Structure 1
Amino acid sequence: MNPESITSRLTLFFSTVSTLVLLVVGTLIGTLVESHFEEQDLMELNGKLELVRHALAKVHTPSDLATAPQSLSDALIGHPDLSVAIRGHDRRVLFTSSSAIFATHLLEQPSHGDSSGKSRLVMWEQGGEAYRGISAVAATGIAGQPPATVALAINIERHRAFMKAFRNNLWLAIAAGIALTVVLGWVAARRGLAPVREMADVAKGISVSHLGDRLSPETVPTELVDLAIAFNEMLARLEDSFRRLSDFSSDLAHELRTPISNLMTQTQVAVSKERPADEYREVLYSNLEEYERLARMIADMLFLAKADNGLIIPSSETVDLPTEVRELFGFYEAFAEEQDVSLVLVGEGSVRGDRLMLRRALSNLLSNAIRHTPRHGAVKVIIRQEAESGKIRLTFENPGESIQPEHLPRLFDRFFRVDSSRRKASDGAGLGLAITKSVVEAHQGKIQAFSADGVTRFEIIFPITDR
């Protein structure tokens, strides 16, 4: 596994947490089992202590005291691991069971137990074996005689052997559990990340001929739905961008082919035979027009390339829109009269921006409106300030043939024409509206096109800024 992969990280995290949990659980289980044995031994020793106390309580005379050991021996039959010793107040041993083994302090300092009255359990090793024991005082029935000291011990070697085997098996099980969690963690991480690998497979399959592939958000886990949607949106943008780029490349090749073909044809005709100087001059003038057209196209393309990369930084000055529109009216006056189109301006307003760039955008819209207005029609430019929304709306409106709704979103695409078969030589390269959109967006504005019922309208919305 790659140590930096998500699968390995999840596996490591899951295994580490599981290991800690198993270790804690194993330690807790071992402690609880050991405590259980201690409690069990203490209960057994306390039970035998009560038996001894009961036997001593029946001793009322010295002769009874002499027969007590036999009674205790009979009572303790069947408990080979149990050792009992009784010492009198005069330090004389009154009774010991066979093979009795005690820690010295059990008889020297009998325990009075804890706050709950239970005897305190003592553990020690002697002769290579482990013992647990308690000691206490026990009163006899002889009047005026001080109580005797009783010590009880139990051999716990069987318990220790069991605990050793138990712990060995427990830690082996825990080790196996840790190994299993590593494997299961890796499998779970791999299965959990399967949708991510599917995304990677889709991404690997993306090519020119497979731009339409998409992920199904319904088939991925909830945590990856947003990622799948974002991935699909990215693919949609790529598909649209590639389509536009493909169309743009085709259109550009087509636009460049015409003037270059004209230049080649005119030049070939000119050099095919000797001609008078005036004819050569006419060919050069015609070629100059084609060069100028190519130069405008290249300049427009450079402008749009800068706009696409955010390199257009407009200057900031107050631009009076009615003044700019009136100057454009004067510039296009002869063209409008030739088309028998009247120009109308309504409204007042100003924005802050680059005056030359804005004039270029307004000029493109005005020339486009005049060109598509039928004779005796009127082009209206309406400026309206909307104080409530903080916007200023600039509208270019002209009558004419309506544009189909499916074409409206593409009007601002480069080289796009609604009907290329009706293109005239004076129509330009088809970059005017694309440049206009770039200029408007560079000024934080928005432009839209509407066309219905024989009226086409372009609306620009600029934010109102303080002067």
Structure 2
Amino acid sequence: MFRRLTLTARLTLLYTTVSVAVLCGLVAMVMAATQAHFVELDRDSLRDKAELVKQVVANSASQQQLAFHLGELLQSHSGLYVRLEHVGKLVFSYNDTDFPAHLALADGTPSTTDWTADGVALRGMQLKLATPPFLEETGQTTAAQDATRLLLAVDTHHHIHFLVDLRRSLTGYLVLAALASGLLGWWAARRGLAPLRDMKERALRVTAHQLGGERMPVHSVPVEMAELAQGLNDMLERLQRDFERLSEFSSDLAHELRTPISNLLTQTQVSLAQQRDAPAYRDILASNAEEFQRLARMVSDMLLLAKTEHGLALPHREPIALRDEVQALFEFYDAVADEKNVTLVLEGEAHMAGDRLMVRRAISNLLSNALRHSAEGGRVRVQLSCPGGEPAGTPTLCIENTGNPIDPAHLARLFDRFYRTDKSRAHLDTDGTGLGLAITRAIMEAHGGTVSVESTPAATRFCLRFGAA
């Protein structure tokens, strides 16, 4: 039941419960303190009356004189009950009542006893007195020096009436205070949760076409909600970036797939337009096979990107000597370098732990780009290093090639999918799919590393920085 309540209702209920509990405790404390105060007043009053009676008893010469003086003394004290006994026999009484058999003694620690007699609430005590002289002369004394007993009681009805009225007043105040606390708690909870309702309204207005418009207020909300608002804003920023990347990727993918599909469709329609000989059909099928290979390579690259970016293609770590991998790739691209008269240079040495095939593909992507964009008779230099020293250092591989520099406006997006610095040259002089650098970045992120690029008129330099060796 409690779980189905709104947060405002929960806070109101909790605030009201705490307020009622505090007020009940306060009421109980006031009632207990008032009761204790009345007990203390009655006890002090009884002790004062006992001292007066004690003096009168000590100064009386006979029982008649005692009765006369005590009668004059006590007639102005209404609600007072006095009884004087000696060896269990009554000596004097005033407003006599049924005293209980065991009354609290006033000697030592002061205390009283409460009881009810004939519908009257009483509070009393007893004192043990020395035997008065006139009782000794009559021969009524005993060997015990404390055989005389004084019993006193006072009517407490006025205290009871006051406590009843006080309890009634406090109960009424408690009810009103509980209602006021509930209303105040509801108002405070509703006002305090207003920023959450504002966030909810803003969140409801967020759509796929308005990810960049609505943001949660950070500076106008309480400190406790500022982190929530900032977290939601960061989430919306990530969603906006991912959505924009997905939209661009979808558009680029459609554009990239449209060209080979159009080529296949055109060649197929042309070949079906008229009867051709076997060699012509063979040439058409060979051309179509090239386009199919391009499509298969593109799909394979996209699948690798998807797995890597979502942590599905986790690298199989093993010790790798980067110099050996680069040397093997030099042998693979040696023919391309000789065709363009490009010199391949390898410097330094570094070791790392990672997936050998994925690392080789990342290096191969950069090396093929460097050869493709190097000027005739230029140079491609690969530098290996491990700043900080092995094994705790950072293995670094940098590939530098001479040639035309890259426009700084393209550097920030160079690792995006299907991004090319010259859109008009797509597919004209390369078999690439525009995913090589994006795959390289994904491989580096899977290995906990980074890839960077810088370009000057003298050379363009790509650097792979892996995690600790």
TM-score category (smaller protein): 0.7 to 0.9
- Higher mean displacement: 81-90 or 43-52: 81-90
- Give unmatched runs, 5+ long, in structure 2: none
Q: Give the TM-score taking structure 2 as reference length.
A: 0.87
CA shift, 1:183, in A, is 4.2
In structure 1, the residue matched to 2:260 is: 259
Deviation at 1:393, TM superposition (A): 0.7
Paired residues of 1:270 and 1:280 also in contact (CA < 8 A)? yes
- Aligned letter for 1:433? L
Contact 2:121 2:157 in 1 (8 A): yes
2:466 counterpart SS class: strand
Question: What is the aligned-residue RMSD (CA, Å)?
Answer: 2.8
Alignment of 1:46-445 (within 5 A): 46-59=47-60, 61-62=61-62, 65-88=63-86, 91-94=89-92, 96-97=93-94, 99-105=95-101, 111-115=105-109, 118=110, 120-138=111-129, 142=133, 145=136, 148-212=148-212, 213-388=214-389, 389-427=392-430, 428-445=432-449
Shift of 1:238: 0.8
Deviation per CA, 1:102-154: give whole Å up to 9, x if none. Answer: 40537xx7834234xx4x31211111221111222455874884685332221
Question: 2:35 maps to what in 1?
Answer: 34
Q: Distance in 2 between matches of 1:104 and 1:387?
A: 97
Q: What is the identity, as a one-letter code, of the residue corresponding to 1:80?
A: S
Distance in 2 between residues matched to 1:321 and 1:111, nearest whole Å: 102
AA partner of residue 100 (structure 1): D
Unpaired runs of 5+ residues, structure 1, are none
- Distance in 1 (CA, whole Å) between partners of 2:437 and 2:300 is 15
Task: Tell me the distance in 1 between the aligned counterparts of 2:100 and 2:452.
Answer: 104
Q: Give the 3 Å change call, closer, same or farther, for CA 78–452 of structure 1 in structure 2.
A: farther
Cα shift readout 1:285-305 (whole Å, capped 9, x = no counterpart): 222222221111111111112
- 2-side partners of 1:26 and 1:79: how far apart? 33
Q: What is the CA–CA distance in structure 1 between the aligned matches of 2:29 and 2:3, rounded to whole Å?
A: 33
What SS does the aligned partner of 1:101 have? coil
Alignment deviations for residues 420-440 of structure 1 (CA, whole Å, 9 cap, x no partner): 234452342210011112222
CA deviations over 1:307-337 (Å, ceiling 9, x no partner): 1232213334443322322332232233233
Q: Distance in 2 between matches of 1:54 and 1:316?
A: 106
In 2, the alpha carbon distance for the partners of 1:23 and 1:395 equals 77
What are the Cα deviations for residues 29-79 of structure 1, in whole angstroms up to 9, with x where unaligned?
Answer: 2111111111111122222222223333432x33xx534433333333443
1:410-454: CA deviation from partner (whole Å, max 9, x where unpaired) = 222111123323445234221001111222233333222222344
- Report which stretch shifted further, 47-56 or 375-384: 47-56
Separation of aligned partners in 1, 2:266 and 2:370:
34
Q: Residue type matched to 1:400 in 2? A: G
Give the letter aligned to residue 103 of structure 1: F
What TM-score comes out, normalization by structure 1 length?
0.87
Matched residue type, 1:452: T
CA distance in 1, matches of 2:75, 2:407: 112
Aligned letter for 1:218? Answer: H
Report how far residue 281 of structure 1 moved.
3.0
For residue 128 of structure 1, what is the amino acid of its counterpart? G
Distance (whole Å) between structure 2 residues aligned to residue 409 and residue 444 of structure 1: 20
Does the C-alpha gap of structure 1 residues 231 and 406 become closer, same or farther in structure 2, counting only changes over 3 Å?
farther
Give distance in 2, aligned partners of 1:419 and 1:127: 114
Looking at structure 1, the residues matched to 157 and 87 of structure 2 have their Cα atoms a distance apart, in angstroms, of 32
Give the CA deviation at 1:180. Answer: 4.2
Report sequence identity in percent. 41
Query: Which of 328-337 and 133-142 deviates more?
Result: 133-142
